[in-house]
Chains A and B, each alone.
Chain A
Amino acid sequence: MRPLQGIPVCRVTLLLATLAATFSGGMGEAYGQRRTAHYFQSADLPPGTVGQAQLLRGGPLPGYFQPVEVRCPQGCLISPAVGPGYAEPQPDKLLAGMLVGAVYRLKISKIPLHETDEIYPTIEVINRLHPPPGQESRFPIPIEITAEELQLAIRGQFVTRVIYLEDPTRPFPLQEDPKNQRVFEVHPADDPLRVADELGRPMAILRMGSRVPDETQDPTQLGFGYGSPPLKLLAPAIDLPRDAGLETSSSPPGAKGAIRYPRLPLILQPGTPMQTRRPQGAAR
């Protein structure tokens, strides 16, 4: 007697079909873990291309000044392009609101050990944040330009830095150093925009090379400064001692080390008697 004798063929077929459906589901899961996204843009495109494509996707991007904080080594001066020239240089740090999709040209001068050189990087903001109302300038996109990158640019190298927002479901399990931004180096053949998209959400692209303004170019053409798009210079957020906490401060009021809040500037000249004005008819 054959082992499967008497079992209808339809039952065998149904069993095999069930097995095939079960295991093909697992196989589909395995294949589903592959990322097969096709990227239309790359960081090697001309400045402004990625940002303009982002504007076409819709959403609250047009017209929003995304705060960006550009940090340089101590001693450097940062000047954003405004009109045909450059704005007043800011030492070490620049906090400004930039439009998504526009390209901003900066001038970095007074570089330590390279005081005679100037670097002209561009910044392209390609996405925005959605902080709580009133907290916009407290959560800017940090763009750090290191001394190493400045020296690479002076030597003629081209540095592309894509700043991305970390995915909170896959964070890097180390303490963040506010003074040194964590950076991953990729191969020159790789696309940093694509790597940044796999690690989080790309927010801005910094391009920095040895390009200098053409002296023979008509300054009214504004080609080197990408038209100097509108820029909103922001005052740095007041760094209140939030970490101190009310319960940890045990010093009495007025003592050294007590929490001091910024006060209004004194408008009265020294020696001017201070007068108390009261409305007419008010009881004294």
Chain B
Amino acid sequence: MSYFWSPSRKQRWLVTCGLFLLCSTSACRSGMGLREGGPLAIARRAKPALTTTRSPESSTTVGDDSQIADNSDRVSAEAVIAASDGGVVTNVAFTSPALPDSATRGARGTVGDCPPDLEGGEIVYPNPWQPPGLAGPWPYDEYIYDGGDRDLPADVWRDWSVHGLDMEDTVIHYDTRQGKTVVRPSNRVPIYAPRFAAVRKVTGPRQQQIAEGLAAVDRPIRMESQEQRLTASTAVQPVQPVRQHGIRSTVNLIERSRGVTMDTVRTLQGLEDTLRPYEDLAIIRRGKIDSVDQLRLAQASRAAIAWSSDQMVQVVFDGKPASQMTGSSVPQETMLYELPEGKDCVRIVKIASKSEAQPGEEIEFTIRFDNLGEQRIGNVTIIDSLTTRLEYVADSAECSLKSSFMTQENEGESLVLRWEITDPIKVGEGGIIRFKCRLR
């Protein structure tokens, strides 16, 4: 009886091949085969896991409407972040601004009219030419984006940490009466903002002489000519007039002078306690989509088509999913969960004050969120991870609801903005968030 394996020749060959592949792969993954960009590659830090400051014990509820907790008893942000080694969270002193009452009052969107995710949809951009089959705006490298949920989908884990939050992402997450934590992204806002840089090379004849080794050439050859590609500038048309008819000089000169147009430009000097001109839309003011504003919304958010109600599924069977029963009878156990009725739905819309900007300019963003579901929602949190080229302007964040505001650095040398709405949001209610960014 042998305690060792005595493989055959074929088995030894297979094991050798497997070990070789394993070793080569390990060496490759350890950095031998990787190349981290060129000599000018920008070093990036590891992406920290963003952690919420919600208290699981006080927030997770099932079945009882009264158990949707507010955020008053959550743990401190510094403690949670320190425990997860996720970065530094800065609590910002924050007061609710003087937003108009109409922003949170009046008729709202249709309850139960839950739109699909706002990041899709066919968007038509007024560019002169665009390759067929590519999603706009095109080309992508002339735009910066904010909003949506790029790459990995954002998710909130049981330990209240937010994962999959990439740069540019804007999401809202909330808790339902069934105990679920739902994450929904906003629409994506593109801004035309190309930025340039240069790569320079300086050469000289002395260095060229060293490189070419002219001292070793017996018969120096001087460059005689250089090939140049010329563009035709003139065209000779060898056609001459054959004859001339009578030429008469002008006898009468009629002067037609139009009156000088005078316009009186009276600019708006100030706004107080009202909506900005770019955000004075029905979707922002009342949370209800108006067909008149769709064109302006297309310019402000570039995604109005994605959530226009006339392109959605019109019939919704509440609580009656489509099912099919077959005649097979097998022993089984049926678990019946009695959950509160009513579905949850939150719509979040984001627009920008400018569709194009140059470095140094300030852009103002407005986020409108509404509870379009059939139940109250709690622990509402809006997170916006700014892209690298957007720098948050200090003390510019506003929120129409009572909330706490905090910031945290992200992997793109910018900030993650975070609003935690203190009170639960009732059915048909919503709020507005504003903040400014400076384009880098």
Interface residues of A (CB under 8 A from B): 1-4, 9, 12-13, 16, 19-20, 23-24, 26-27, 30-31, 33-35, 43, 46-49, 52, 59-60, 83, 102-103, 129-133, 135, 138-139, 141-142, 144, 149, 152, 156-168, 170-176, 178, 181-188, 190, 192-193, 195-196, 198-201, 203, 222-223, 226-230, 242-243, 245-247, 249-253, 258-259, 261, 263-264, 267-268, 277
Contacts and interface: CB of A to CB of B under 8 A. Distances in A.
B132 interface: no
Nearest to B32: A30
Given A164-B199, A253-B269, A23 B40 contact: no
Interface in B189-227: 192, 194-205, 207, 226-227
Contacts of A133: 126, 128
Interface in B375-393: 387-389, 391
Interface string B17-46: 110011011001100011101101010000
Counting from the closest, the 5 A-B pairs by CB-CB distance are A173-B413, A176-B359, A23-B25, A192-B199, A30-B33
Contact of A252 (B201, B230, B269): B269
B232 interface: yes
Contact of A227 (B6, B40, B232, B414): B232
Given A9-B11, A24-B25, A227-B233, A246 B268 contact: yes
23 contacts: A3-B5, A9-B11, A23-B21, A27-B21, A27-B33, A46-B227, A47-B228, A48-B229, A49-B229, A83-B233, A103-B229, A164-B199, A165-B142, A168-B143, A168-B145, A171-B387, A172-B42, A178-B359, A182-B197, A183-B200, A187-B201, A246-B268, A261-B267
Given A163-B196, A183-B199, A229-B233, A130 B11 contact: no
B199 A186 contact: yes
A159 B202 contact: yes
A52 B33 CA distance: 37
A165 B22 contact: no
B412 interface: yes
B270 interface: yes
Interface in B113-154: 126-129, 138-145
A253 B28 CA distance: 69
B259 interface: yes
A59 B18 contact: no
A161 B200 CA distance: 4
Contacts of B138: 130
A139 B198 contact: no
- Size bracket of the B interface: 35 or more
Contact of A46 (B2, B194, B204, B229): B229
A82 B227 CA distance: 21
Most interface-central of B15, B21, B269 (chain A CB within 10 A):
B269
Given A162-B199, A182-B198, A188-B203, A16 B17 contact: yes
Given A139-B356, A223-B230, A188 B202 contact: yes
A91 B148 CA distance: 45
Contact of A16 (B14, B24, B139, B355): B14
Contacts of B277: 246
Given A9-B8, A139-B194, A201-B141, 14 more contacts: A2-B6, A33-B35, A35-B35, A59-B129, A158-B203, A163-B197, A168-B389, A173-B413, A188-B207, A200-B197, A228-B233, A247-B271, A268-B260, A277-B259
A170 to B, nearest CB: 6
Contacts of A47: 228
A139 B358 contact: yes
A160 B200 contact: yes
A184 B40 contact: yes
A16 to B, nearest CB: 4
A259 B198 contact: no
Grouping DSSP codes into helix (H, G, I), strand (E, B) and loop, the B interface class, with mixed when no group exceeds half, is loop
B159 interface: no
Most interface-central of B29, B202, B389 (chain A CB within 10 A):
B202
B362 interface: yes
A71 B413 CA distance: 30
A26 B270 contact: no
A247 B270 contact: yes
Given A34-B35, A46-B228, A135 B197 contact: no
Contacts of A178: 358-360
B2 A173 contact: no
B16 to A, nearest CB: 10
B199 A20 contact: no
B192 A135 contact: yes
Contact of B197 (A164, A187, A188, A268): A164
Given A34-B35, A173-B414, A243 B361 contact: yes
Contacts of B198: 144, 161-164, 181-184, 196
B270 A250 contact: yes
A173 B412 contact: yes
Contacts of B42: 170, 172-173
Contacts of B412: 171, 173
Nearest to A168: B144
B317 interface: no
A156 B231 contact: no
B261 interface: yes
A183 B29 CA distance: 34
B4 interface: yes
Interface in B258-302: 259-263, 265-271, 276-277
Contact of B18 (A16, A158, A196, A258): A16
Contacts of B387: 168, 171
A158 B202 CA distance: 6
Contacts of A160: 200-203
